[in-house]
């Protein structure tokens, strides 16, 4: 349980960050990233997904990642799973928890998981049953909470409806995904308020992509409203293969810096985190998307 001054960070870099990378990344490099993140103090790490490898080839080797990581006591290694097959693959390699993902937009649901929103909720039922029997926590994502790449505006009431369905199905936490990063503090507030009518605030998380540079402002507004769980990606890696032009999540380094400034606890060592980000960026041959990481690196040169 988070206190008013503590925040849970869900690090999604190894999954949301890397899933969109066109270049092959060795399992060894993914494993090194996950280990560096746990050593930096992150306690929940989404280490991969178990989706159809034809849809997202980069995640095809997630078994090797889960099998190769050094598990740090207390750290939860989460997996994204679209159906029972994905759930079974994830559990076979020791995922500590799984996440299911629905959308608040019909068009995005079709493009991302090849079914309607209501079909997706039905498809998740066997996962929920199996997870309940095995005592595996299930997290739920709702995508496109502040806009859809295909449909445009999305009504907060629709987001709240899908979030409520996932919660009623047994998800312990609902992560509100601003998949294309179009949200602003005002629209994110409307979404959070719509969901908070039906769900306890402590069950809500914000999953902010930073495409329009609004992620930190949105997170700050969400903190003011009482949200205490935030998803982020080291070095701001990533994007969604089914949301063209969407950039990565808010960088974990930037989130941690914000939380430090607010005097909120989170358990992450910023310098070690920045080193983890530098290492994966060097591996990928790209610059970090984190302004904080870039500023820290400049101080060291
Ligand atoms: P489908 O093609 O409709 O599935 O895909 P199907 O059930 O008809 O099966 C087709 C084939 O896929 C079969 O193989 C299955 O065995 C195989 P075949 O008989 O042709 O050889 N298959 C699988 N193989 C391995 N693992 C599995 C699996 N499932 C089926 N789990 C499906 C439906 C949902 C599987 C597909 O659409 C899919 O994998 N989609 C995932 C897309 C994805 O990963 N998107 C990115 C993640 S979501 C995201 O980034 C948003 C988020 O970050 C929040 C936010 O930002 O908003 C979470
Ligand atoms: Mg995402």
Residue 20 Cβ contacting ligand 1 at under 6 Å: no
**144, 171, 195, 240: the active-site residue:** 240
- Please give the average per-residue pLDDT across 75-86, as a whole number: 98
Q: How many CA atoms lie within 13 A of 292 on its CB side?
A: 23
Residue 79, strand partner residues: 48, 98
Assess whether 240 carries a catalytic annotation. Answer: yes
Protein residue whose Cα sits closest to atom 8 of ligand 1: 114
Ligand 1 centroid distance, CA of 51 (Å): 4
User: So where are the chain's domains?
Assistant: 8-299
Best residue for ligand 1 mutational test, from 52, 232, 237 (most atoms within 8 Å of Cβ): 52
What are the distances in angstroms from CA 99 to CA 48, 137, 141, 164, 245? 11, 8, 7, 15, 24
Give the pLDDT confidence score for residue 4 in this predicted structure: 77
pLDDT band at 118 (very low <50, low <70, confident <90, very high): very high
Give the pLDDT confidence score for residue 240 in this predicted structure: 65
For 170-204, the pLDDT digits (tens) are 999 999 999 999 999 999 999 999 999 999 999 99
Say how far apart CA 142 and CA 257 lie, in whole Å.
Answer: 26
What are the distances in angstroms from CA 141 to CA 192, 210, 267? 14, 17, 24
pLDDT, the chain, mean: 96
Closest ligand to C-alpha of residue 103 is 1
Residue 95 pLDDT more than 90? yes
Show the tokens assigned to 53: 């490898």
Q: Which atom of ligand 1 is nearest to the CA of 103?
A: 57
Q: Are 99 and 79 in contact (CB under 8 A)?
A: yes
pTM as predicted: 0.97
Contacts 24+ apart (CB under 8 A), 184-189: 184/146, 184/214, 184/217, 184/218, 185/214, 185/217, 185/218, 185/220, 185/221, 187/146, 187/147, 188/145, 188/146, 188/218, 188/221, 188/222, 189/221, 189/225
For 8-299, the fitting CATH number among 3.40.50.620, 3.30.479.20, 3.55.40.20, 3.20.20.70 is 3.20.20.70
Residue 1 pLDDT more than 60? no
Residue 14 pLDDT more than 60? yes
Closest ligand to C-alpha of residue 145 is 1
Where b means 16+ CB within 10 Å and e means fewer, 177-212 reads bbbbbbbebebbbbbbebbbeebeeebbbbbbbbbb
């Amino acid at each position: 349980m988070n206190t008013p001054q503590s925040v849970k960070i869900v690090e999604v870099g190894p999954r949301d960050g890397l899933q969109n990378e066109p270049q092959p990344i060795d399992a060894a490099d993914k494993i090194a990233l996950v280990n560096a993140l746990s050593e930096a103090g992150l306690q929940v790490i989404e280490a991969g997904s178990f989706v159809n490898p034809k849809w997202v080839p980069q995640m095809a080797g997630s078994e090797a990642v889960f099998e190769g990581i050094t598990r740090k006591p207390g750290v939860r290694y989460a997996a994204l799973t679209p159906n029972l097959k994905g759930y079974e693959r994830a559990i076979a390699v020791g995922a500590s928890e799984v996440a299911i993902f629905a959308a608040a937009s019909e068009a995005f649901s079709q493009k991302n998981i090849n079914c309607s929103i209501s079909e997706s909720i039905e498809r998740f039922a066997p996962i929920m049953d199996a997870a309940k029997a095995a005592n595996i926590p299930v997290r739920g994502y709702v995508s496109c909470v502040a806009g859809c790449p295909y449909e445009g505006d999305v009504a907060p009431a629709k987001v709240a409806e899908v979030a409520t369905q996932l919660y009623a199905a047994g998800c312990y936490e609902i992560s509100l995904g601003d998949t294309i990063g179009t949200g602003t503090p005002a629209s994110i507030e409307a979404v959070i308020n719509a969901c908070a009518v039906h769900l306890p605030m402590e069950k809500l998380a914000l999953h902010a992509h930073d495409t329009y540079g609004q992620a930190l402002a949105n997170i700050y507004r969400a903190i003011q409203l009482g949200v205490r769980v935030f998803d982020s990606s080291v070095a701001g890696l990533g994007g969604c293969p089914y949301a063209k032009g969407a950039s990565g999540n808010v960088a974990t380094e930037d989130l941690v810096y914000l939380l430090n400034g607010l005097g909120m606890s989170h358990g992450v060592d910023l310098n070690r985190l920045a080193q983890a980000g530098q290492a994966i960026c060097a591996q990928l041959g790209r610059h970090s998307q984190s302004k904080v990481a870039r500023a820290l690196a400049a101080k060291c040169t």
